[in-house]
Amino acid sequence: MVKLAVNGTLMRGLELNANMLEAKATFLRDATTAPVYRLWSVNDRHPAMIRVLSGGASIALEVWAVPPEGLAQILLREPPGLCIGKVTLADGEEVLGRSGSRRSARASARSRNTAAGAPTWHRASRRSA
The ranges assigned to domains in the chain are 2-120
Report CA 28 to chain centroid distance, whole Å. Answer: 15
**pTM, entire model:** 0.77
pLDDT tens, residue by residue, 2-39: 999 998 888 999 988 999 999 999 999 999 999 998 88
Torsion sign (Cα): 87, 94, 68, 85: positive
Alpha carbons 111 and 122: distance in angstroms, whole number: 15
The answer to whether residues 59 and 49 touch, using CB atoms and an 8 Å cutoff, is yes
Q: Give domain 2-120's CATH number out of 3.30.450.40, 3.40.1350.10, 3.10.490.10, 3.90.1300.10.
A: 3.10.490.10
